[in-house]
Amino acid sequence: MKTSRKNEFFKLKILLLLLLVVSFSSCVSRLARPAISGVIVDYDKKPVADCRVGETTTDKNGKFYLTEKRYNKFLLSEMMVMEAPPIWVMEPITKEGFKSDAITFSNPRGGGQAKGAKYQIDTIFLKKVNQQFDVERLLADKTWNLSYTKNADTIYMVSPKFNEWCKTENCHAFYNSYEVLTDNYYHSNSKNLTGGVIKRFIEVRFNADHSGQLQQVQHYMHTYEGPNKPIDTLKTNINWTFKKPELIRFVIPQRAEISHPYKIAMLDLYHMMLIKSKE
């Protein structure tokens, strides 16, 4: 009887050992990069051929395709972690005569996706080194969103079309600079807004006759002492003029801090950065 129990116990140990060996030797497939496809064009919507994207190049129609990348991890080590690994993708975009850019995106649990993962970008607009813009045409009869620093020495502006147009690293980085000046709740360490303001959204309509309208909505931080301050909205008229091709002036009586001339320091189809000028 004792011999039988010993044999069963021995068999159980052998079985557990085999399971451990299988676990250590078995692998699980993880995603390093989904297959990425898209097309690259210039600002006149002409295909950019022979443009380097990661390890590949675009064809004559500006199309590119990056194959899926995967790697193997030991099953047991992955079971110990209990969650899928993150992925972070950065694929440089380079072409002589154009501003370098990159496809970047991340997913904190993206490594757990099954084989066949795809990421369709559609169209990427690549900016020429000497790209020219008609600033008045970009502004006239259009609405832009605006944010500015504490001392109003820098203004960031983005078009409502920005998010559907922005597909690459350069514009994503710009949007982060804009957003950090609008939302102290999400960007809790920024402390760019004062007076208890937790969020501030500014929308400006630029009319073709150089008049316009500004609307500002402010949200205030909730407190546990006394009544909370309600959301307030400011609507006011503005004027905007060009002192020089690269110098724009805002006249907004109820927003004296930005009623100054600003130099256009950065300009693109759907975003621009202005720096306060002493002129």
User: Using an 8 Å Cβ cutoff, are 58 and 40 in contact?
Assistant: yes
Domain count of the chain? 2
Q: In what order do the strands lie in the sheet with 35-41?
A: 63-66, 35-41, 118-125
- Stronger pLDDT, 224 or 168, i.e. the higher one: 168
Both 119 and 43 in a single domain? Answer: yes
Q: Is residue 254 one of the residues assigned to a domain?
A: yes
Both 141 and 239 in a single domain? Answer: yes
Domain extent at residue 259: 135-276
Q: What confidence category does residue 111 fall into, taking pLDDT thresholds of 50, 70 and 90? A: confident
User: pLDDT digit string (tens) for 48-78?
Assistant: 999 999 999 999 999 999 999 988 865 545 4
CATH of the domain at 83: 2.60.40
Both 120 and 145 in a single domain? Answer: no
Q: Is residue 130 one of the residues assigned to a domain?
A: no
Evaluated on CA atoms 81, 84, 86, 92, the torsion sign reads positive
Both 86 and 201 in a single domain? Answer: no
pLDDT above 90 as % of the chain: 67
CA distance 239 to 237: 7
pLDDT > 90? residue 189: no
Both 157 and 257 in a single domain? Answer: yes
Query: Which pLDDT value is given to residue 15?
Result: 55
Interior angle at CA 105, CA 99 and CA 111, nearest 5: 145
Q: Is residue 139 one of the residues assigned to a domain?
A: yes
Distance from the first to the final alpha carbon of the chain: 102
pLDDT > 90? residue 137: yes
Query: Which pLDDT value is given to residue 76?
Result: 47
Q: What confidence category does residue 112 fall into, taking pLDDT thresholds of 50, 70 and 90? A: confident
DSSP string, 196-229: TEEEEEEEEEE-TTSEEEEEEEEEE---SSSPPP
CA 269 to chain centroid: 16
Both 59 and 145 in a single domain? Answer: no
- CA atoms within 13 A of residue 217's CA, in its CB half-sphere: 5
Give the mean model confidence (pLDDT) for residues 116-132. 94
Both 88 and 172 in a single domain? Answer: no
Both 150 and 235 in a single domain? Answer: yes
Total-model pTM: 0.82
Structure tokens at 73: 């991890």
Q: Is residue 236 one of the residues assigned to a domain?
A: yes
Q: Is residue 76 one of the residues assigned to a domain?
A: yes
CA distance 90 to 106: 9
Evaluated on CA atoms 168, 169, 173, 174, the torsion sign reads negative
Q: Is residue 11 one of the residues assigned to a domain?
A: no
Question: For residue 262, which of 149, 129, 99, 127 has the smallest C-alpha distance?
Answer: 149
pLDDT > 70? residue 2: no
Last residue of a domain, one of 125, 154, 179: 125
Both 102 and 228 in a single domain? Answer: no
Q: Is residue 15 one of the residues assigned to a domain?
A: no
What's the mean pLDDT when you consider all of the chain?
88
Last residue of a domain, one of 65, 90, 125: 125
Both 223 and 152 in a single domain? Answer: yes
Strand blocks (E) in 133-276 = 142-148, 154-158, 197-206, 211-220, 232-244, 247-251, 261-267, 271-276
Last residue of a domain, one of 101, 125, 149: 125
Query: If residue 106 lies in a helix (H) or strand (E), which one and from where to where?
Result: strand 101-107
Q: Is residue 6 one of the residues assigned to a domain?
A: no
Both 190 and 270 in a single domain? Answer: yes
pLDDT above 70 as % of the chain: 87
Both 257 and 230 in a single domain? Answer: yes
